[in-house]
Structure 1
Amino acid sequence: MAAPMEHMTAVCAELERLLSEDVAAGEDVVRRVTELFRGPEYREVAEEKIFTLILQILSRALQEIQTQIAASESSEDRWYLLSAECFRCLRNACVQCLKNQNTIRNLGLIEKAMAVIRVFSTSSIAQESCLVAFRCGLQFLGNVAGGNQDSQNSIWKRAFPHLFLNCLNHEDDKVFSYGAMVLYTCMDEDKMADLLDPANLTVALDVISAYSRRSDTDWLHLIVTDRFLRSPELVKQMYASQNHTDRMSLLELILSKISEKSLPVEMASLRQIALFLSDCFQKQCKSVLKLAAPGDGEEEAQVVIRLLDLLCEITSDPDLLTCLQCCSGLLDTAVDTLRLTHLAGKQAKNVFTSTHSESLGSDLTHAAVGFKAHLIRLIANLCYKNRENQDKIYQLDGIPLILDSCSIDDNNPFLNQWAVYAIRNLTENNEKNQELIASMERQGLADSALLESMGLHVEERDGKLLLKSVKKK
Structure 2
Amino acid sequence: MADISEYTKILERYKSQDQLNSVINSENECQRAVSALTSIRQDLSSRMKLGSSSGAWDSLQRILQSSLSICCSGPDDSSRKWKFVNAVLLLSMNMLSAGKTTQEYAHSALGSILLMMLTDKSCPTNALANALKIFVNMCAGNDQVKTLLWQKFLEAYDPNTMRDFTDRLDDSTFAILEILMAGIMSGSTERSQKLVSDLQGNNLLCGILDRLHSWSESQDKQNFDFAYSIVTTLITHGWFSDAFKACEDTIDVPSDRQLAMTRVLEGFLVTTEDISPVYGHGLAETLYSDMFCEICKPLCIQIMKKKIESVQTERLASFQTLTLECLTALIGVSADIKDRLIDYHSVEEFLDLLKKADSMIGRRTLKSGLPTEAGKAYEFPDLKRQLVGILALLVEDSRTVQDQIRESGGLPILLSQCNIDDNNPFIREYAILCIKGVLKDNQENQAFVASLEAREAVTTDALHEAGYETSIIDGKVSLKKLSKE
TM-score range, shorter chain: 0.7 to 0.9
Q: CA distance change for structure 1 residues 429 and 198 in 2, over 3 Å: closer, same or farther?
A: farther
User: Which amino acid in the other structure matches residue 111 of structure 1?
Assistant: S
2:112 maps to 1:111 = yes
Q: CA distance change for structure 1 residues 94 and 41 in 2, over 3 Å: closer, same or farther?
A: closer
Identity of aligned residues (%): 15
Q: CA distance change for structure 1 residues 327 and 207 in 2, over 3 Å: closer, same or farther?
A: farther
Question: Following the alignment from structure 2 to structure 1, what is the Cα–Cα distance between the partners of residues 262 and 70?
Answer: 47
User: Which amino acid in the other structure matches residue 60 of structure 2?
Assistant: I
Question: Following the alignment from structure 1 to structure 2, what is the Cα–Cα distance between the partners of residues 199 and 102?
Answer: 24
Are the equivalent residues in 2 in contact too, given 1:226–1:265 (CA < 8 A)? Answer: no
Q: CA distance change for structure 1 residues 326 and 93 in 2, over 3 Å: closer, same or farther?
A: farther
Are the equivalent residues in 2 in contact too, given 1:457–1:469 (CA < 8 A)? Answer: yes
Q: CA distance change for structure 1 residues 469 and 41 in 2, over 3 Å: closer, same or farther?
A: farther
How many residue pairs were aligned? Answer: 444
What corresponds to 2:90 in structure 1? 88
Q: CA distance change for structure 1 residues 27 and 40 in 2, over 3 Å: closer, same or farther?
A: closer
**1:374-393 equivalences in 2 (<5 Å):** 374-393=386-405
What corresponds to 2:313 in structure 1? 298
3-state SS, counterpart of residue 481 of structure 2:
strand
Q: CA distance change for structure 1 residues 452 and 14 in 2, over 3 Å: closer, same or farther?
A: same
2:233 maps to 1:226 = yes
User: Which amino acid in the other structure matches residue 293 of structure 2?
Assistant: Q
What corresponds to 1:349 in structure 2? none
User: Which amino acid in the other structure matches residue 211 of structure 2?
Assistant: A
Question: Following the alignment from structure 1 to structure 2, what is the Cα–Cα distance between the partners of residues 427 and 409?
Answer: 23
1:442: Cα distance to partner? 6.8
Question: Following the alignment from structure 2 to structure 1, what is the Cα–Cα distance between the partners of residues 73 and 179?
Answer: 31
Are the equivalent residues in 2 in contact too, given 1:440–1:446 (CA < 8 A)? Answer: no
CA-to-aligned-CA distance 1:255-287 (integer Å, 9 cap, x gap): 1111123356833444x1211221131233032
Question: Following the alignment from structure 1 to structure 2, what is the Cα–Cα distance between the partners of residues 150 and 381?
Answer: 46
Question: Following the alignment from structure 2 to structure 1, what is the Cα–Cα distance between the partners of residues 105 and 276?
Answer: 34
Question: Following the alignment from structure 1 to structure 2, what is the Cα–Cα distance between the partners of residues 169 and 197?
Answer: 19
1:374: Cα distance to partner? 0.8
Q: Where does structure 2 lack aligned partners over 5 or more consecutive residues?
A: 24-29
What corresponds to 2:48 in structure 1? 42
Q: State which drifts further: 230-239 or 327-336.
A: 230-239
**1:305-344 equivalences in 2 (<5 Å):** 305-318=321-334, 321-344=337-360
Question: Following the alignment from structure 2 to structure 1, what is the Cα–Cα distance between the partners of residues 174 and 342?
Answer: 43
Are the equivalent residues in 2 in contact too, given 1:167–1:176 (CA < 8 A)? Answer: no
What corresponds to 2:36 in structure 1? 29
Question: Following the alignment from structure 1 to structure 2, what is the Cα–Cα distance between the partners of residues 40 and 227?
Answer: 40
2:385 maps to 1:373 = yes
Are the equivalent residues in 2 in contact too, given 1:459–1:468 (CA < 8 A)? Answer: no
User: Which amino acid in the other structure matches residue 354 of structure 1?
Assistant: R
Question: Following the alignment from structure 2 to structure 1, what is the Cα–Cα distance between the partners of residues 98 and 242?
Answer: 33
CA-to-aligned-CA distance 1:172-193 (integer Å, 9 cap, x gap): 1122111222233334422425
Question: Following the alignment from structure 1 to structure 2, what is the Cα–Cα distance between the partners of residues 212 and 82?
Answer: 37
Q: CA distance change for structure 1 residues 194 and 206 in 2, over 3 Å: closer, same or farther?
A: closer
Q: Give me the TM-score of the superposition, normalised by structure 2.
A: 0.81
Q: Give me the TM-score of the superposition, normalised by structure 1.
A: 0.82
Q: CA distance change for structure 1 residues 98 and 279 in 2, over 3 Å: closer, same or farther?
A: same
User: Which amino acid in the other structure matches residue 9 of structure 2?
Assistant: A
List structure 1 segments (4+ residues) > 6 angstroms apart after TM superposition. Answer: none
Are the equivalent residues in 1 in contact too, given 2:51–2:57 (CA < 8 A)? Answer: no
What corresponds to 2:284 in structure 1? 274
Question: RMSD over aligned Cα, in angstroms?
Answer: 3.3
